[in-house]
């Protein structure tokens, strides 16, 4: 596996693979990789002949009081995991390579509709930062396919919309969330948790499953289900950010006759913000 830092070297390596007739898949990441990322790369390697991963801690998607400076940078360990998972080329640009005109001088991509509400409301500018970085990566690599985790459900919806609205010929694949044995969704930010917080954290997924089971059983008083779960979260020491039931494709608030739902949660435990979600398909028995 080759590691390149410049757009020029990236393009040269991708062009070589293309000239050999290979299909290209991109897996964008911010590093500090875990088994969830490895699953994305392994899926990419199954589907295409040439897997490009990127590691870039994107300053544009962090708010002023967020963890940009402390976000773990673990390049050597990441390289090993990527290699083992079947990655062919790693792109690790620095901020100047990605944003040569500075952050303020960078043209931005704003995705309408699905960027609003949920994480878009709690993290102003976040999805504009994601959409800008991902658009640049797509243009730099020009992959046939790109793979993202479903843990960031709204992000995946933003990227699907971006590709559709800007006519980018890239197939977007969403890959299932990888969880610890106790149900906690794997996340680079889980490393911030103290042992006590880590022990409490699986409650988020448990309550998502409880809500899903109730909805599958016919309960349509969503406000009541949400309030009961929020109470459990608060009692366990979480500071709720949002907990909502949405229509799973459009992300608009769920109506009682919708059949494709997603329950999305964000909550703080200490200073760490965790997110998770669960898709509920009422056309399939739970």
Tell me the two tokens of residue 175.
């890959």
8 Å CB contact between 276 and 255: no
Which residues contribute to the site for ligand PAF (CB under 6 A)?
28-30, 58, 61, 130, 133-134, 152, 155
* In the complex, least distance from residue 286 CB atom to ligand PAF, rounded to whole angstroms: 28
CA distance 18 to 117: 39
Phi first, then psi, for residue 7 (nearest 5°) are -60, -35
Q: Give the nearest distance from C-beta 152 to ligand PAF in angstroms.
A: 5
Beta carbon of residue 151, minimum distance to ligand PAF (angstroms, whole number): 9
Report in angstroms how near the CB of residue 190 gets to ligand PAF at its nearest: 14
**Catalytic residue list contains 37:** yes
Q: Are 163 and 170 contacting, i.e. CB atoms less than 8 angstroms apart?
A: yes
Cβ proximity to ligand PAF, 143 vs 229, nearer residue: 143
Residue 95: how many CB atoms within 10 A of its CB? 14
From 37, 126, 233, 259, active-site residue? 37
End-to-end CA distance of the chain: 42
- Residue closest to 203 by CA, chosen among 226, 182, 221: 182
Cβ nearer to ligand PAF, comparing 135 with 248: 135
User: Catalytic positions, please?
Assistant: 37
């Amino acid at each position: 596996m080759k590691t390149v830092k410049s757009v020029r070297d990236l393009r040269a390596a991708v062009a070589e693979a293309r000239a050999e007739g290979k299909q290209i898949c991109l897996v964008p990441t911010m590093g500090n990789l875990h088994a969830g990322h490895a699953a994305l790369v392994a899926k990419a390697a199954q589907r295409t002949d040439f897997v490009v991963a990127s590691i870039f801690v994107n300053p544009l998607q962090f708010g002023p009081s967020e963890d940009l400076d402390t976000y773990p940078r673990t390049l050597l360990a990441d390289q090993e995991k990527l290699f083992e998972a079947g990655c062919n080329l790693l792109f690790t640009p620095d901020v100047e390579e990605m944003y040569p005109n500075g952050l303020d001088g960078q043209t931005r991509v704003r995705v309408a509709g699905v960027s609003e509400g949920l994480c878009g409301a709690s993290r102003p500018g976040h999805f504009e930062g994601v959409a800008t970085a991902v658009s640049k990566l797509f243009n730099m690599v020009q992959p046939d396919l790109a793979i993202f985790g479903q843990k960031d459900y709204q992000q995946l919806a933003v990227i699907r919309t971006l590709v559709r609205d800007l006519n980018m010929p890239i197939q977007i694949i969403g890959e299932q969330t990888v969880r610890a044995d106790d149900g906690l969704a794997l996340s680079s930010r889980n490393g911030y948790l103290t042992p006590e917080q880590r022990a409490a954290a699986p409650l988020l997924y448990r309550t998502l499953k409880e809500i899903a089971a109730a909805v599958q059983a016919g309960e349509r008083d969503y406000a009541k289900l949400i309030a009961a779960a929020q109470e459990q979260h608060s009692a366990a020491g979480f500071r709720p950010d949002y907990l909502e039931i949405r229509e799973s494709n459009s992300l608009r608030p769920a109506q009682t006759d919708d059949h494709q739902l997603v329950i999305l949660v964000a909550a703080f435990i200490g200073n760490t913000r965790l997110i998770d979600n669960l898709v509920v398909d009422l056309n399939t028995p739970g």
